[in-house]
A and B are shown apart, each in its own frame.
Chain A
Amino acid sequence: MKENKVADFFIGIGIVVFGIVVFMLSSALPSAPTGLGSRGYPMFLAILLIVLGLTLALPIALKGELKGELKIQFSGFKDPHAVIKIAVCVAMSFLYVFLVARLGFLLLTPIYLFGLMMLFGYRKYVLASVVSILLPVGVFFLFTRVFYVFLPTFRLF
């Protein structure tokens, strides 16, 4: 509970800072003689964010719930490996999207799908391999032949 309060405090402060940045950026936008112009609405939202950020952070600081806990802990998951697994999943997904433009959907997706299944803990290797190959092939043909959505294909340059 204490950990969440500390995190909430820092998130609240972050939102205030973000609101100030938005306000400053908005003030550079053009205004209009009547109505909101380009700047009015984002400035209004920035003020709301600042007020809400303060409302989140201030009570925690005023109640003294920060004493001796001025660090954010990210160890909230019961399983210590959970954070690593999530990080690997995120990294794999970004890498996949980065590489798929060059290596193509048909080549890369089976590897990605199989890798994700292993990461999630699926251990029936034969079935995982079959699904990892058949699903991307099916999706590829469905999209390119039926929907006329051309998924990325392998290219050298």
Chain B
Amino acid sequence: MLENLAYGFSFVFQPFPFLMLVFGVVIGVIVGALPGITGSLGIILLLPLVSQLDSRVAMVMLCGLFCASMFGGSISAILIRTPGGASAAATMMDGYPLAQKGYAGKAIGIAAIASFFGGILSTACLILIAPQLSKVALQFHGADFFSLAVFGLSMIGGSSGKNVIKGLISGVFGMFIATVGIDSIMGTTRFTFGSVALMNGFPLLTVLIGVFAVSEVFQSAGKRFSEIDLPKQELKNILPSWKEIRSILKVSGISGLIGVFIGIIPGTGGAISSFMAYNFCKKISKNPEEWGQGSLEGIAAPESSNNGTTGGALIPMLTLGVPGDVVTSVMLGALVLIGVRPGPLIFLEHAPLVYTIFAGMIVIQFVMLAFSLGFARISPVILKIPQTMLMPIVMVLCVVGTFSLSNQLYNVFIALLFGLFGLFMRRYDFPAAPMVLGVILGPMAEANLNRALVVTNNDWTILFTRPLSLTFLIVAAGFIGMTIYSNKKDSRKEQAEKEAQA
């Protein structure tokens, strides 16, 4: 492994890959800081560039963007009380009060250092866990893979919205979308209605661009944007003292591990992990009364945790082909675009790429730390970019990006249609993430279920007789059951509170 890692470092430190790594980090911080522009949208906007690059350079750049966008979200959360993304929402609770006390610079500095700790921890877990998980996954039977897909979908369907049923509908609909075109089992055309263009199905990235990016622009058209009120204070004392760094070490370590664990579970991501880490660390803190008032630990916990999810989310994405969150879904699409199919064989088929990602992830943390601390002083400049100008630019880049994937305007039409569909989903609270995961996992589920049935001569009980498959199915069913129960309990509680108030 060390030899492979050494190869990874030697590649990453070549001038062009390193330049693209830094570019990814810079873009990541910028898109992360801009409210409304997420890491996944940032990756979508870079897709035309990704398709032109060597796979290792492209992935190092995207990983840089992924990690840095997590930190970037803290800038707007601290300065203007508007998180750049959901992952930074918990950072706002202590970051903004500290900024109000005149220590905005210190808050950003602590966020950068905690992000670094979280990132390093998650990279270490990625390097240690991913190869082992990949070896285990090589022993998976078709039935296990099918149940894994069901498990992934139920996790993301259950955790990404208020209504579990809507999440599941979204996921199953995504799986249906993936059936359009020539089927991989018998070569029959399905649901194409005679259209030659539909024979290849709906390209994953086109669906992603439509559902995540185009629908965001459409939705933004209906919003009224107000001028952002930036703090008048000068950002100074960004580099915390050694004593302050020591005070956040324990919290950063625990939160980073929470982030890694949450990141590994499909369908979760930085938003959930940062709140979990915040609440957990507040409970074990020696000074819980300071939390919410501008506590340094209160900034470190969510920031370390959300960066902890980055490496965690990459583990199932690389080794099983099951993305951990929305950003890794887009990254998986980008990998497919450059001809790499993630899964258990990735260490055998694309070892140089995987170890370049590992080495790149380590280097990214250092580059991100240096850039974040150096850039913090001028970071308010990013927030001055008006959304009213930004969103139209994003739209044009989406159109160009979609066109560049296949040189066909037909795909741009498809992206617009999915944008319209995504808008409908947002309007009626159907989460988009399960649908995208459905599109990704659908073919995997079908191929593996078919394989399992062919091997067992149509014996469906194979899904329940193989221990691993049964475990995935039980956990999936248990999770859905628990989520439905807790949602009902919450709604009953809300109802009772309303009645009490009335």
Contacts and interface: CB of A to CB of B under 8 A. Distances in A.
Interface string A99-132: 0110001000100110011011110000110010
B423 A36 contact: no
Contacts of B393: 113, 131, 135
A35 B453 contact: yes
Given A116-B395, A121-B225, A143-B48, A49 B185 contact: no
Given A37-B185, A96-B399, A109-B396, A45 B218 contact: no
A120 B165 contact: no
B165 A56 contact: yes
A93 B392 CA distance: 10
Instruction: Output the residue of A79, A109, A143 with the most chain B CB within 10 A.
Output: A143
B416 to A, nearest CB: 6
Interface stretch (B130-138, B186-194, B268-276): B186-194
Interface string B153-170: 000000000010110110
Contacts of B166: 56
Contacts of B260: none
A25 interface: yes
Contacts of B420: 90
A28 B189 CA distance: 11
Nearest to B223: A82
B225 A53 contact: no
B353 to A, nearest CB: 22
Contacts of B409: 97, 100-101, 152
Interface residues of A, number: 66
B347 interface: no
A154 interface: no
A42 B442 CA distance: 10
A139 B397 contact: yes
Interface string A65-99: 00000000000110100110110111001101100
A109 B400 CA distance: 10
Nearest to B402: A97
Contact of B428 (A7, A147, A149): A7
Nearest to B443: A41
A121 B224 contact: yes
Which A-B residue pairs are the 5 nearest by beta carbons?
A: A82-B222, A116-B392, A89-B221, A122-B388, A38-B188
Interface of A: 4, 7-8, 11, 15, 22, 25-26, 29-30, 32, 34-38, 40-42, 45-46, 48-49, 52-53, 55-56, 76-77, 79, 82-83, 85-86, 88-90, 93-94, 96-97, 100-101, 105, 109, 112-113, 116-117, 119-122, 127-128, 131, 135-136, 139, 143, 146-147, 149-152
Given A101-B409, A119-B392, 12 more contacts: A30-B188, A35-B458, A36-B453, A46-B176, A79-B224, A82-B223, A86-B219, A105-B400, A117-B392, A120-B388, A121-B388, A122-B386
